[in-house]
Structure 1
Amino acid sequence: MSTKLSLADLASLPARVARPGYARAALTPGILHFGVGNFHRAHQAVYLDDLFNAGLDHDWAIVGAGVFEAERKGRDILAAQDWLTTVVEQDDGHMQARVTGAMVDFVEPGNGAAIVARLADPAIRIVSLTITEGGYFIDAATGHFDAGHADIVADGRSPEAPKTVFGLILAGLKRRKADGTPPFTVMSCDNIPHNGHVTMDAVCGLAKLSDPGFARWVEDNVAFPNGMVDRITPATTDRERTILKDDFGVADGWPVFCEPFKQWVLEDRFPLGRPALEKAGVQFVADVSPFELMKIRILNGGHATIAYPAGLMDIHFVHEAMQHELVRGFLEKLEREEIIPTVPPVPGVVLDDYYRLIDRRFSNPKIGDTIRRLCLDGSNRQPKFIIPTIADRLKAGAGVAGLALESALWCRYCFGETDSGKAIEPNDPNWERMTGTARQARNDPAAWLAMEDIYGAVGKSPVFAAAFAEALAALWRDGTAETLRRYLGRGK
């Protein structure tokens, strides 16, 4: 017996399910958010729900927005349950469900006119984004905004009918300027180094294509704070829906399961004000750079480290990978010898303690995070999470054997077949290109590193090229397990 999630049935939910302690009707929007997915609903929306439950800042509720037709399904599910979401926190000794109500509306995906109208509303003072690493149109070879991308070129030619998030943001800002309404703050919540600067580059870079004067106005008047966000949040499957229904008696079409840990470090630059998020646990700092570099290299780089060997050895869940002595050994050796040494000191943080926390989080057997999710979108993630670390090691004249092996494992994974011969289903927006290049690289490793838009100068390094070629040859000759054993000093 389960209760369908809705405002009307909140009081009927089982007593062990927490629910909003505030009147939803009393909330008014203050934030428009692009990219309403699992991470946003387990992170930003939870912080705001905590704040609202404390009786604070009820004028900062969230309105969702999206630009892709694929987002319509999620919107329809949330609409049917009055924009409510069940968030389930899990670890080995803890499982807790709560219903959050921070979202109060969701503009129909692709309805540009309606989105721009909401952006122009003076009540909207923050526009936030979780649009994934690949959504910022970054040229991996240069690290800068790619003004030549077809979608950007199209918006530059037709700024009055934008199709991208950044085109919509510009249209909203232009409308506000014409109306005499101060500009909103644009707040990225994606895992990208200097995400505020990256977002500003995208918005202003697009504006320059059609109106350089307006681009300068944006640079001078719009705030783009940098932030670091963290919470492991897998995709929702029937597994999660069934657990929620069986264990908690709640029928939610799109619940979010996540770990108990969450973190948000944010620069305090919000000219039109902001919710008092520090009262919900957000850490405000003058410079977020040390925190984001630590997280991106140690956690996100760590995810990449375990993802591809586990994927090649047909391991399904992340916690299962952490139970495999070779995968866990590879993670620890690579982190301690090559990744962590590139991370500068972080105020108030002992890096060794942070790594041990990451090890425990990856090992959480309850979260149900999958290796396939960690392997997703390597063509956008590797240039942000791994390749800059390689570049720093090369610049310092330090060894890169472990990082070269990680890169070779990614290449081998993109071949599209595990060590056992099982086919790997497409798992990258550029999968056809990646598999084609990986197949060429089997006999010509230089072909993989020749992807300049991904590797940049790193791919031209003779030192890295030699280490990569040796690692890739070993993977094809001996397989993943034996290659890892040799790297760990346990080989035959």
Structure 2
Amino acid sequence: MMKKELKRQGKAKIPGAPVPYDRTTIQTGIVHIGVGNFHRAHEEFYTNQLLGMGGRDEWGISGVALLPQDEPLYKALKSQDGLYTLTVCGRDGKDEFYEIGSLVDLAWGPKDPEKVIDRIADPRTKIITLTITEGGYNLDKETGEFTLSSKDVKHDLEHPGHPRTVFGFMTAGLRKRSQNGAGPVTVLSCDNLQHNGDTARKAFASFIGAQDPGLAQWVKKNVTFPNSMVDRITPAVTPDDVKRLDVQSGVEDAAPVYSEDFIQWVIEDDFIAGRPDWETVGVEFTDDVSAYENMKLSLLNASHSLLSYPAFLAGYRRVDEAVGDERFARYLRLFMDRDAGPYVPPPGNTDLELYKKTLLERFSNKAVSDQISRLCFDGVSKIPVYVMPVLTKMIRDGADLERLAFFVAAYRHYLKHGKDDRGNAYEVNEPWLTKEDRKLIASGDPLDFLALSPFRSTDLKAADKFVSQYLSMVENIEKEGVLPVLEKLILP
């Protein structure tokens, strides 16, 4: 069994790349909160590669799980001393297998909160990284302010010694760190949201300021919050996936993970207490992450949105299948080239043409195919961030708006009808639709839909060219279906 092999030998007998270093010499300089699949395929992978190249041994990772639903993964990893296998699925159909050994310590907050607090306060800890999801920062969608009134946050404000939330644990750890003179530390968000470091700073500073104003002053001087941009498609792992991955790797692993072969991490170089030499294994450091964020949001994330509703209405359910249809592939390439592209200055040494080509290859990777239903989920939150900035600039510049008009018309059709063009019924998963939004969707006048909450940043009704093309798309989709309209849209 993997458990016995790993504990006895320090490495598993797998093809590819077993741990090439002595894990018993590795100390923990990084605490990571939120040990999930993406983290294990991304930060742990980079750090494992660095340690394997002879990187300094003080940069091992101590993983922290805080949520009740984290218990199964925590127990699986704990039983294997933090070791697990990563299968990297190549776009050429060839897989690579890695044994990841950089996760050298684990703590589960609900069972052992003091261990979590002590890890944050440990003077050897120089960096605290986070994957707590985009919604985990507890910011109000309307105001952007930190929500102090939620149940668990209120509990942590009133009971600082018995935290439940990441904010309570972080504050308790930083308080102990300041009292013990453990020195400064960096908090690095690895979540997929724009300006994630600024978001983390706002969330933690708001909570700390409400609970302990004195500590808030210490944090201002002793904690940095770099922005970062992360990218690697990492699917959820089902029980069937576990069996399949174990057969492929040749290891009995209770917690395998798999990902695409593409990986990117761009970080603002603002580490107050030092950092690993991650650049030696491909991490990019910069003074400003904004251009990289803009590239990813405008090309990758916006393309996912542009694909989602039309492809779903056409009957597709997997991204690779939809992009395998040349009509959708051309639609996305036209969007990237003609619509979003002019507003994406290539950051650093990025080859933008290669980046766009690679995106389509990534979307086509059958081994890590995403569900289109996931891309459709929560358009109310995604569209203002991914699509509206490009559309607003295009309207300003008098650009051709037909692809964006098609997208908005398809979004309306998706929200309004509940059946795709093949007659398959579906449920709309839009948790943030308001009562007013629902009235606008139900309206018989398609113009009303342009006042939907995701579009509020721009007065779409005042854009005559857009309105004309949008109304035409609405009518044609209603009469003909999505694919015949798309076919006309992609004509040379």
Query: CA-to-partner distance for each residue in 1:344-379, whole Å, 9 max, x for gaps?
Result: 342222322221121222222333333334334434
3-state DSSP of counterpart to 1:154: helix
Root-mean-square deviation (CA), in Å?
A: 3.2
Give the corresponding residue for 2:367.
366
Q: Which residue of 2 aligns with 1:68?
A: 67
| More moved, 286-295 vs 167-176 | 167-176
Farther off after superposition, 394-403 or 355-364: 394-403
CA offsets per residue over residues 122-181 of structure 1, 9 Å max, x none?
222111112222223345556x34446636862684361544323432332222222222
Amino acid at match of 1:108: W
Structure 1 residue 109: deviation in Å? 4.3
C-alpha displacement of 1:188: 0.9
Q: Which moved more, 1:264-273 or 1:210-219?
A: 210-219
Tell me the residue number matched to 1:419. 421
Matches within 5 A, 1:78-477: 78-91=77-90, 92-110=92-110, 112-141=113-142, 144-147=144-147, 150=150, 154=154, 157-158=157-158, 160=160, 161-212=162-213, 214-414=215-415, 416-424=418-426, 427=429, 430=431, 437=438, 440-441=441-442, 443=444, 445=446, 450=451, 452=453, 454-458=454-458, 462-463=462-463, 471-477=473-479
Structure 1 residue 255: deviation in Å?
1.8
Partners of 2:150 and 2:270 in 1: CA distance: 32
Query: What CA deviation, in whole Å up to 9, does each residue of 1:58-91 have, x standing for no partner?
Result: 2221122233222222212222322222111112
Instruction: For 1:70, give the aligned amino acid.
Output: Q
Structure 2: distance between partners of 1:481 and 1:446: 23
Q: Give the TM-score, by structure 2 length.
A: 0.87
Q: 314-323 or 204-213: which moved more?
A: 204-213
Residue 156 of structure 2 contacts residue 164 of structure 2 at CA under 8 Å; is this kept in 1?
no
Match of 1:479 among 469, 478, 481: 481
Give, in whole Å, the separation in 2 of the partners of 1:227 and 1:83: 25
Deviation, structure 1 residue 17 = 4.1
* Deviation, structure 1 residue 380: 3.5
Which whole-Å CA distance do the structure 1 matches of 2:271 and 2:213 have between them?
24
- Indicate the SS of the match to 1:190: coil
**1:252: Cα distance to partner?**
2.3
Flag the 1:240–1:414 CA change in 2: closer, same or farther, 3 A. farther
- 1:46 shift after superposition: 0.3
State the distance in 2 between where 1:441 and 1:178 align.
Answer: 58
3-state SS of paired residue (1:18):
coil
Match of 1:488 in 2: 490
The CA distance in 2 between the partners of 1:465 and 1:109, in whole Å, is: 53
Between stretches 380-389 and 273-282, larger displacement belongs to 380-389
Q: Are the equivalent residues in 2 in contact too, given 1:5–1:250 (CA < 8 A)?
A: no
More displaced stretch, 219-228 vs 164-173: 164-173
More displaced 10-residue stretch of structure 1: 164-173 or 321-330: 164-173
Deviates more, 1:308-317 or 1:259-268: 308-317
Letter paired with 2:34: G
Report the count of equivalent residues: 486
Contact 1:27/1:59, CA 8 A, preserved across alignment: yes
Specify whether residues 188 and 482 from structure 1 end up closer, same or farther in structure 2 by C-alpha distance, changes over 3 A only.
same
The farther-off stretch of 69-78 and 367-376 is: 367-376
- Supply the distance in 1 between the matched residues of 2:139 and 2:116 (Cα, whole angstroms): 24
> Is the Cα–Cα contact under 8 Å of residues 14 and 248 in structure 1 kept in the other structure?
no
Q: Structure 2, unaligned stretches of length 5 or more?
A: none
CA distance in 2, matches of 1:313, 1:174: 54
Give the SS at the match of 1:104: strand
Aligned residue number for residue 41 of structure 2: 42
Query: How high is the TM-score relative to the length of structure 1?
Result: 0.87
Query: 2:285 is aligned with what amino acid?
Result: F
Tell me: CA distance 1:20–1:354, structure 2 relative to 1, closer, same or farther (3 Å). same
SS at match of 2:87: strand
Write the letter of the residue equivalent to 2:462: P
Q: Would you say the 8 A contact 1:140–1:456 is kept in 2?
A: no
The aligned amino acid for 2:94 is H
Describe the SS at the equivalent of 2:288. coil
| Closer, same or farther: CA 66–212 of 1 in aligned 2, 3 Å | same
Give the whole-Å Cα distance in 2 for the aligned partners of 1:376 and 1:364: 21
1:74–1:254 CA contact under 8 A, matched in 2: yes
Where structure 1 has 5 or more consecutive residues not aligned to the other structure, the ranges are none
CA pair 3-73 structure 1, distance change in 2 beyond 3 A: closer
CA distance in 2, matches of 1:108, 1:282: 29
Structure 1 position 13, deviation (Å): 4.5
Deviation at 1:52?
1.2
Distance 2:436 2:422 in 1: 17
SS state at 2:306 partner: helix
Q: Describe the shift of the 1:41–1:469 C-alpha distance in structure 2 as closer, same or farther (beyond 3 A).
A: farther
Q: Give secondary structure in 1 for the equivalent of 2:255.
A: coil
Letter in 1 for 2:169: L
The 3 A distance-change label for structure 1 pair 376 and 255 is: farther
4-13 or 185-194, which moves further after superposition? 4-13
